[in-house]
Amino acid sequence: MTATPAPAATRGPMTLRDWAQLLLLGGLWGGSFFFARIAVAELHPLALVLLRVSIAAAALQAWLALRGPSFRLALPHAPMFFLLALAGHNLYQIAGDGNAFKETVPLQNLLLAPAERAEVLIQASTTPGTYEFRSLLWGPDYQEQPDALLATVVIEGDPITPQAIPDALVPYEDLRGLPVDHSRTTEFQEPGPPLYLAIDGKHWDPDRIDQTVKLGALEEWTIKNTSSHWHPFHIHINDFQVISINGEPVDAPGWYDTVSVPAQGEIQILHRFLDFTGKYVFHCHILMHEDAGMMAVVEVVE
Ligand SMILES: [Cu+2]
């Protein structure tokens, strides 16, 4: 089986010049956003994103004009969800967010939110042909992603005997049924002006502690999303077990550090704060949302 790279795929290792270009764009990209926020804090977040994209696009066009068409395109901050599918094939997910699953999960398609990572096995069809790897139409409102061809997979030659897809993988401890030390609820919101994007009615403030947790505690968190858009919840340091989505129990196959909270929905997670005291953050991992204030501080104390 050979895969034809997508048109935007990189060729060969990054050179020093490529890294310099990426740093330049990253600086313009992030810096424009930062200073725009300071200058016009009441500006709508979408306007700030347009500004940010415009500046980055202008820099890209200027560099293309100078250097020619062999520029490598990278979108490390893409705020996109991808609903991925390979025609004629199942995806067998074996790990998520860098954590091995307890069992293989067959999927016809895979929804990946910003920051989510997935490892999948694909068993090639025994029918030669060309199969499309696509990002399918997905999402409400401004989050809508078009149906797009990402790559084609060519299957050719004499078929080999298919290997069995593994079933059981790496065991992990199920936290359900253990005594919960503390339950809390936090709400991801789009409350309108002047906040637009907030957690529990507040913008990010590094000098404020939003949630205080005892070291060693097992906690059950309900993360609500009262908006009409999806928000990928992400927390640093401690991965968690998802136990329900929109009130439906979930038998999660592994630990996660990012999970999508559906529009007008909620998730419940269990997590333990075992090893570290100190402050860190949880936030929406759509970076424009995070940068516009949808982030909060948790402090773990003795
Ligand atoms: Cu968000």
**Distance in Å, CA 249 to ligand 1 centroid:** 23
pLDDT at res. 80? 84
**Distance in Å, CA 286 to ligand 1 centroid:** 5
- For 63, the token pair is 């560099």
| Distance, CA of 140 to CA of 102 (rounded, Å) | 32
Cβ atoms of 138 and 85 within 8 Å: the answer is no
pLDDT at res. 131? 97
In this prediction, residue 177 has a pLDDT band, given cuts at 50, 70 and 90, of very high
Q: What does the pLDDT look like over 279-302, one tens digit per residue? A: 999 999 998 899 999 999 999 999
pLDDT exceeds 80 at position 55: no
In this prediction, residue 27 has a pLDDT band, given cuts at 50, 70 and 90, of low
pLDDT at res. 11? 42
- What number is the average pLDDT over the span 129-156? 93
pLDDT exceeds 80 at position 151: yes
pLDDT exceeds 50 at position 40: no
3-class secondary structure, 94: strand
Which residues, by Cβ under 5 Å, contact ligand 1, an ion?
Answer: 231, 284, 286, 289
**Distance in Å, CA 231 to ligand 1 centroid:** 4
**Distance in Å, CA 201 to ligand 1 centroid:** 14
Cβ atoms of 259 and 196 within 8 Å: the answer is no
**Distance in Å, CA 27 to ligand 1 centroid:** 22
pLDDT exceeds 70 at position 7: no
Cβ atoms of 209 and 142 within 8 Å: the answer is no
Cβ atoms of 249 and 268 within 8 Å: the answer is no
Q: Residues 137, 138, 139, 140: what is their CA dihedral angle, to the nearest 10 degrees?
A: 40
Domains of the chain with CATH codes:
16-156 (2.60.40.420), 175-301 (2.60.40.420)
Q: Which residue has the higher pLDDT, 217 or 2?
A: 217
Residue labelled with tokens 């559906």: 262
Q: What does the pLDDT look like over 230-275, one tens digit per residue? A: 999 999 999 999 999 999 999 999 999 999 999 999 999 999 999 9
CA distances from 55 to 26, 33, 40, 200, 233 (A): 11, 10, 17, 32, 28
pLDDT exceeds 80 at position 110: yes
**Distance in Å, CA 291 to ligand 1 centroid:** 10
**Distance in Å, CA 206 to ligand 1 centroid:** 18
**Distance in Å, CA 232 to ligand 1 centroid:** 6
Under 8 Å CB-to-CB from 45, ≥6 apart: which residues? 196, 197, 288, 289, 291, 292
Q: Is 123 left (phi over 0), alpha (psi -120 to 50) or beta?
A: beta
**Distance in Å, CA 267 to ligand 1 centroid:** 14
- Identify residue 226 by its one-letter amino acid code: T
Under 8 Å CB-to-CB from 37, ≥6 apart: which residues? 43, 48, 291, 292
- What number is the average pLDDT over the span 34-52? 55
Q: Residues 163, 168, 171, 177: what is their CA dihedral angle, to the nearest 10 degrees?
A: 160
**Distance in Å, CA 196 to ligand 1 centroid:** 11
**Distance in Å, CA 79 to ligand 1 centroid:** 9
Global pTM value: 0.74
In this prediction, residue 193 has a pLDDT band, given cuts at 50, 70 and 90, of confident
